[in-house]
Amino acid sequence: MNDNNTLVTVQNLKKHFPIQQGIVIQRTVGAVKAVDGITFSIARGETLGLVGESGCGKSTAGRTILGLYPATDGEIAIDGLDVRAAKGKTLQQVRRKAQMIFQDPFASLNPRWTVNSIVGEPLRVHKLASNEKARSERVKELMELVGLSSRYVNRFPHEFSGGQRQRIGVARALASEPDFIVCDEPISALDVSIQAQVVNLLEDLQAQFNLTYLFIAHDLSMVRHICNRVAVMYLGVMAELAQKDELYENPLHPYTQALLSAVPVPDPKESRKRQRIILTGDVPSPIDPPSGCRFHTRCPIAKPHCAQEVPVWREVQAGHFVACHEV
């Protein structure tokens, strides 16, 4: 990937949440290793999908990249700006360049604010409107841009449906004119009929403003539709990363193979031919992850050395990365 074309770089990123015990005197007795050393980059105008089971660290990774959670270790750069070291004006630059669309459209909007205040807040913070009138006009433009009537600007969040609220969330993310948006499962809380509308809106906005997305999702069919490349996470680490068609047609990691075998196929004949890979056991705890390869406790092809040696994250084909001893 051309370095000049790279917008986001993440190197060995870790986010551990300390576990405290005690009421009067608290002491740290361990940590939840939510994200434990992930590396990737995203090009300008690209959509990178991030998939994996619930609790694998996807959302934590997205929030840590934006600086909403302080990183435990590693490097994060957005358009050349060091997110971990950002303070003052540099932090404000990061905040303007990178925004987030949250998973829950019901919890992510302040119920006491009108749409005008919610969408107008980034304009006020980043001084993108000369006065209150100009700010209100810009909010109306943003509302129309995401497919909502500008007449609704003085309404409160509870007066909108889930899909409409998510559109307001998209308008708020667009208000600061960002280059990079983390979409944290933006459609999982919506009805199926509304999901396609929101995804189409995101694609249209990307084409119009050359936006770069990190698209976090469970729905592997939707990820293939919207993303250019797909990264697979398991228990805080990266398992595989490749171009979407390469990953879906030639998955190398056993965990990726198991995930893709669960994707529904509309053709009954094709569905009968496919072999479903059923993983045994539960996902281990991120407080005490397995030694060696974290997937070895559930892996159908695990060998003894998988429990002892951590697999190296390596490029096995052009643009196809995997962390597995047996590939």
**How confident is the model at residue 219, as a pLDDT?**
83
Task: Please report which confidence band the pLDDT of residue 2 belongs to, taking 50, 70 and 90 as the band edges.
Answer: very low
Is residue 266 very low, low, confident or very high in pLDDT (cuts 50, 70, 90)? Answer: confident
DSSP 135-169: HHHHHHHHHHHTT--GGGTTS-GGGS-HHHHHHHH
Residue 229 has pLDDT above 70, yes or no: yes
3-class SS string, 176-207: CCCCEEEEECCCCCCCHHHHHHHHHHHHHHHH
> Mean pLDDT in the chain?
91
* pLDDT for res 267: 72
Determine the 3-state secondary structure of 81 from DSSP: strand
Please write the tens of the pLDDT for every residue from 90-108: 999 999 999 999 998 889 9
The whole-angstrom separation of Cα 197 and Cα 167 is 10
Residues 6+ apart with CB under 8 A from 326: 254, 301, 303, 306
pTM over 0.75: yes
DSSP, res 66? T
Measure the CA angle with vertex 181, ends 246 and 227; round to 5°: 15
pLDDT at 235 over 50: yes
Residue 206, CA distances (Å) to 20, 124, 165, 173 in order: 42, 24, 20, 13
pLDDT tens digits along 269-278: 776 777 778 8
Distance CA(49)–CA(152), nearest Å, equals 33
pLDDT at 61: 96
User: Cα–Cα distance between 14 and 189 in angstroms, integer?
Assistant: 28
Domains of the chain are 3-227 (3.40.50.300)
306 pLDDT tier (thresholds 50, 70, 90): very high
Q: Which amino acid is at 67?
A: G
**pLDDT, position 3:** 62
